[in-house]
Amino acid sequence: MFLETICMLNGKVQNLDVHIRRMQRTAEYFRFDPPELPDLEELLTPGMDNIKVKCSIQYHNEINSISFERYFPKVINSLKLVNASPDYAFKFSDRRELNDLLNLREECEEVLIVRNGYITDTTFSNVVLQKGEEFHTPHNPILNGTKRQKLLQEGKISEKIIKKESLKEYSRIYLINAMLDIEDNISVKVDMIKE
């Protein structure tokens, strides 16, 4: 089973074409026909049309469930570096492997996954690191998220190979996903990333 998380802002679906392409790539890789999405804006319950809503779609060759909930971003004050190589190149609905990593966060709110010495993602987001006026995202993420793809296409961020030792070259790390943009400022200073 696979999961697609789509942001709906003020009743409007955000970045839908990138989500559909990811569903198509997933279906092609696992050899099934992707289901067609219904009109999500029509399914939105009254009262949710003027807020940020997280739409979660579980699917395989058909849609198994669609849920909507008001989105509240996590409060992130610090990140814990964790060495791991989770298999999450596709957005599976089974997140046990990522949740197990989250259990290693100690006093921090979230983990920053280091794979073979290179910075990748957190358990729920891609990351963007700031160096002066430049914004870099790791070249080899755990999951090539839809917001990451959009920001790369728009030229707002660029890919870079970022070693764990290179973190000190950056001032801030931003967490991005379908629900979070750089402007949402869910971020921490790099010195709040704990070994």
Q: Domain check: are 25 and 64 in the same one?
A: yes
Average of per-residue pLDDT across 136-150: 95
Full domain range(s) for residue 134: 79-194
Cβ-contact 106, 77 below 8 angstroms: no
Q: Domain check: are 101 and 178 in the same one?
A: yes
- Dist. CA 123–CA 21, nearest whole Å: 22
Task: Tell me: pLDDT of 188 over 90.
Answer: yes
The domain boundary residue, chosen from 70, 100, 116: 70
Of residues 141, 125, 139, the one with CA closest to residue 174: 125
**Could you tell me how far CA 5 lies from the centroid of its own chain?**
9
Least confident piece of the model among 48-52, 76-80, 134-138, 170-174: 48-52
Question: Measured at the alpha carbon of residue 42, what is the angle toward residues 40 and 44, in degrees to the nearest 5?
Answer: 70
Q: Domain check: are 21 and 61 in the same one?
A: yes
- Dist. CA 7–CA 56, nearest whole Å: 9
CATH number at residue 43: 3.30.470.10
Q: Domain check: are 128 and 94 in the same one?
A: yes
Q: Domain check: are 135 and 66 in the same one?
A: no
What pLDDT is recorded for position 23?
96
**DSSP assignment letter at 34:** P
- Dist. CA 36–CA 62, nearest whole Å: 8
Q: Domain check: are 145 and 65 in the same one?
A: no
The confidence band for 45, taking pLDDT boundaries of 50, 70 and 90, is confident
What pLDDT is recorded for position 47?
85
The domain boundary residue, chosen from 51, 70, 89: 70
Q: Domain check: are 104 and 152 in the same one?
A: yes
Using CA atoms in the order 107, 113, 114, 119, what is the torsion angle rounded to 10 degrees? Answer: -110
Q: Domain check: are 47 and 111 in the same one?
A: no
Q: Domain check: are 28 and 86 in the same one?
A: no
Q: Domain check: are 89 and 149 in the same one?
A: yes
pLDDT tens, residue by residue, 92-139: 999 999 999 999 999 999 999 999 999 999 999 999 999 999 999 999
CATH number at residue 176: 3.20.10.10
Per-residue tokens: 10: 């003020």
50 CB burial (10 A radius; 0-12, 13-18, 19+): exposed
The domain boundary residue, chosen from 23, 50, 70: 70
The count of domains in the chain is 2
- Dist. CA 98–CA 171, nearest whole Å: 26
Task: Tell me: pLDDT of 49 over 90.
Answer: no
Q: Domain check: are 46 and 23 in the same one?
A: yes
Q: Domain check: are 107 and 183 in the same one?
A: yes
What pLDDT is recorded for position 87?
87
